[in-house]
Amino acid sequence: MSVPLHAGTDHCAGPERGEITPALERQAEELVARYPVSKRSAVLPLLHLWQETFGYIGPRGVEWIAQKLSLQEIQVLELVTFYPWFRQRPYGKFHFRVCRTLPCALGGSGKTFAALKNLLQLKGDAQEGALVSEDGFFSLEYSECLASCGTAPVVLCNDDFHEKVDEKRAAELVSACR
């Protein structure tokens, strides 16, 4: 059995209306097979799969997953709203998560966040959730401890992990994306 690896963040800005390919169906089947006792256990893996493929989880994703696992749609949706990783609207092609928890804050992550917000020209209150640029290219949000506190401040850009991101490093990251 081949192992499905599907962290394809290149597609993260894709519209939810994209095509459900046979390859995607196959990946889903493989994931469901990992839970021989209860198909329901596959909800999180399928939500990850959907979000990585289509960028976010809208009504279509919820319906597809519910149908696959013989669940009520609410049993899927209630996970989307509970788990902070899942989103119900598209984020930017490059999504930044800045750790705000104490060790990173002691290391200056507040400044890193402010620098990114400024560089990406994002407006609004980050307390309310992720900020997305108008062209949909960038987005930014706070994250809780990312388990790398010894190299604070820590930033995730899509799936890539960056350590010791001060204001200078933040600017470099942004220009690398452009």
Partner 1 sequence: MAIREHRLVFKHIDALGYTRDIDCYLKHGGYEMLKKGFAMGGAAIREEVKKSQLRGRGGAGFPTGTKWSFIDPAKVTKPIYLICNADESEPGTFKDRQIIYKDPHQLIEGMILSCFANGVKLAYLYIRCEFTEGWKILEKALGEARSHGFLGKNILKSGYDLEIHVHRGAGAYICGEETGLIESLEGKRAYPRIKPPYFPAVLGLYMCPTIVNNVETLCNVKHIVEMGGEAYAKIGRPNNTGTRLLCVSGDVVKPGYYEFPCGALTMGELIHDVCGGIRNGGKLKAVIPGGSSAKVLRAGETYKIKEKGPDGNLVEKEVKLEDLRMDFDTLASAGSMAGSGGVIVMDQTRDMVECLANISTFYAHESCGQCTPCREGVLWMKKILARIAEGHGREDDPNMLKEVADRIAGRTICAFGEAASWPVQSFIGKFKEEFSLRIRRNGTAAKRDTVSLTH
Phi, psi of 39 (to 5 degrees): -60, -30
Inter-residue contact 112 to 125 (CB < 8 Å): no
The verdict on 157 binding ligand FES (CB under 6 A) reads no
Q: Which is nearer to partner 1, 88 or 101 (CB)?
A: 101
Q: Which is nearer to partner 1, 24 or 156 (CB)?
A: 156
Q: Which is nearer to ligand FES, 8 or 161 (CB)?
A: 161
How many angstroms separate the CA atoms of 144 and 152, rounded?
12
The verdict on 34 binding partner 1 (CB under 8 A) reads yes
C-alpha torsion 31→37→42→45, nearest 10: -60
The verdict on 127 binding partner 1 (CB under 8 A) reads yes
Strand partners, 140: 96, 131
Residues 85-114 contacting ligand FES, CB under 6 A: 99, 101, 103-104
Q: Distances in Å between the alpha carbon of 54 and those of 40, 58, 111, 141, 170? A: 21, 9, 32, 19, 27
Q: Compute the least distance from the CB of residue 103 to partner 1, in Å.
A: 4
Query: Quick one: which segment of 19-27, 88-96, 130-138, 146-154 binds partner 1 (CB under 8 A)?
Result: 146-154
Peptide bond into 59 cis (omega under 30): no
Residues of the shown chain interacting with partner 1 in the complex, contacts defined by CB under 8 A: 3, 5, 7, 34-38, 40-45, 47-48, 69, 75, 78-79, 82-86, 97, 100-103, 105-111, 113-114, 126-127, 142-152, 156, 159, 161
